[in-house]
Amino acid sequence: MTDRTRDASPPGRGMRICDVVVAGSGLAGMMTAILLARKGRKVTLLTRGSPCLAISGGCVDVLGYMDGKRVHGDPLEALQTLPASHTYRTLGKDAVVRSLALLSELCEGEGVSLAADPGLNMWMPTVLGTFKPTYLAFPRMDKDVMEAANSVIIPRLPLKDCPAELALRGFSEVAGVKGKVFLGSQLDHPFGHGHRDLTQLDLARHLETQKGQDWLVKGLAPCLRRGAVLLLPPILGIDRHAQVRKLLEGELSSPIAEMLSPPPGVGGLRILGALRRAASKAGVRIVENAEAVAADVEGGACAALHCGTSVRTSFAAREYVIATGGFLGGGIRAYPGMAREALFDLPLKVPSRIEDWSTRDVFKPQPYAAVGVAIDGSMRPVDRDGKVVLSNVRFAGRILAGHDPAAEMCGNGVALASALRCAEEVGADV
């Protein structure tokens, strides 16, 4: 036993008992909790703080690159050509397809629309003047919108991290949009120049007010032209994104497209808000600032998770889903020559030489990034011989072995598909 995994003890004072405990409130954990709660399970979701969605652009990647090369054609079909050891091959294409549809349906029900280009990746404009591949995104966040327009206007907003000149330089060299991208009006600071530097989040909140909408309409009016698309950072609101977009496009009589930008992640906050509203409606109990730090294990099963809050609290359930992330999320810990899963102290397979944990080509998948928990067909952790080591624990999301979210742009797809698989497997037993 380690300091994180202890012999089980009977439920005592402070113990919270439910059907399923989900540790981790990122895309994988949140979706798992919602799907299980919708099946009538009593679910407790433990979160230690804001998930990665809070700093993401809100796009849903499935597979953007393979071995450093762009995926051309249908990324869902490309899943079949990945190595047998890849996480997607364990989860199955069907789970990916169904989970994407479920996310779209869930978000739509909460007023957040996600668009796709069936059979293809979308190419999303960024504030750097580049394009990023993704599968699901907010409406009019695609290169096709820019190519179809007579001209693309990038207004100069008072945002330090999103200079319009930088985007203009990049897009001016891209086939399909070259020669049709122009700088627009310089908008005044909406709060006065004594205010701190603005972020996209500041403007997104401001545009959910009448005063903010009036400020933007007045500032953009001088740069409008027939057949033009206005290209903005993600500032068209958060909780009222769809209404703000519709209102402003009506006022300006011009379509508005958004670009991906650095954090804070306005787009990710839109999706996170939709998920939180759906979780609340489904009856998920969310426990804030509750990081799972230890587990009771007895007879190859988890008996309880313990959280390192100011008042130590324990949570017992029949089933557990662990979606605590990888190295950066704290779900995996590295030691000299080894890596271990942080909560149950499970040993993880890594290259024998530390020099082999990474490669010189930063654009190719990195061996360390694929380190994670190996699972069986029921999403339970297995040892090197394929034997299940925790019978009532399942893993989802970034913590799974066999994929590199950064190099392959596949993290969201893995998170969603593994959440669906976990919900189905747990639901069959609870």
Q: Three-state SS across 186-239?
A: ECCCCCCCCCCCECHHHHHHHCCCHHHHHHHHHHHHHHCCCCEEEEECCCCCCC
Q: Residue 16: is its pLDDT beyond 70?
A: no
Q: Of the candidates 295, 318, 292, 293, which has an alpha carbon nearest to the alpha carbon of residue 8?
A: 295
The residue written with tokens 């995104």 in the block is: 137
The whole-number pLDDT of residue 55 equals 83
Distance CA 291, CA 117 (A): 38
The whole-number pLDDT of residue 361 equals 81
Q: Residue 355: is its pLDDT beyond 60?
A: yes
The whole-number pLDDT of residue 21 equals 97
Say if CB 268 and CB 57 are below 8 A apart: yes
Q: Read off the pLDDT of each residue in 121-143 and give the average, rounded to a whole number.
A: 93
The whole-number pLDDT of residue 1 equals 39
Q: Read off the pLDDT of each residue in 139-156 and give the average, rounded to a whole number.
A: 92
Convert the pLDDT of each residue in 212-250 to its tens digit: 999 999 999 888 888 899 999 999 999 999 899 999 999
Q: Read off the pLDDT of each residue in 91-119 and give the average, rounded to a whole number.
A: 94
pLDDT interval class at 136 (50, 70, 90): very high
Say if CB 422 and CB 32 are below 8 A apart: yes
pLDDT interval class at 161 (50, 70, 90): confident
Percent of the chain scoring above 90 in pLDDT: 75
The whole-number pLDDT of residue 67 equals 86
**Please, what's the largest Cα pairwise distance for the chain?**
71
Tell me which amino acid residue 259 is: M
Q: Residue 9: is its pLDDT beyond 70?
A: no
Q: Residue 11: is its pLDDT beyond 50?
A: no
* Residue scoring higher pLDDT (331 or 196): 331
Q: Read off the pLDDT of each residue in 28-57 and give the average, rounded to a whole number.
A: 92
- In this structure, the number of other CB atoms found within 10 A of the CB of residue 32 comes to 32
Domains of the chain (ranges, CATH numbers) = 5-108+270-429 (3.50.50.60), 142-259 (3.40.50)
- pTM greater than 0.95: no
The whole-number pLDDT of residue 310 equals 52
- In this structure, the number of other CB atoms found within 10 A of the CB of residue 66 comes to 21
The whole-number pLDDT of residue 5 equals 54
DSSP string, 294-334: EEEEETTEEEEEEE-SSS-EEEEEEEEEE---STTTTSEEE
Q: Read off the pLDDT of each residue in 193-206 and give the average, rounded to a whole number.
A: 86
- Give residues with Cβ within 8 angstroms of 382, minimum separation 6: 374, 375, 376, 388, 389
Q: Which two tokens stand for residue 273?
A: 């808000």
The whole-number pLDDT of residue 82 equals 95
DSSP 358: S
Convert the pLDDT of each residue in 172-190 to its tens digit: 999 899 999 999 989 999 9
The whole-number pLDDT of residue 68 equals 84
* Residue scoring higher pLDDT (16 or 188): 188
Q: Residue 425: is its pLDDT beyond 70?
A: yes
Helix 27-38, helix 93-109: angle, nearest 10: 80
Q: Of the candidates 5, 43, 42, 3, which has an alpha carbon nearest to the alpha carbon of residue 24?
A: 43
* Residue scoring higher pLDDT (198 or 7): 198
The whole-number pLDDT of residue 427 equals 62
Q: Among 36-40, 326-330, 396-400, which is the least confidently predicted range?
A: 326-330
- Give residues with Cβ within 8 angstroms of 250, minimum separation 6: none
pLDDT interval class at 362 (50, 70, 90): confident
Convert the pLDDT of each residue in 249-279 to its tens digit: 999 999 999 999 988 889 999 999 999 999 9
Mean pLDDT, rounded, of the chain: 91
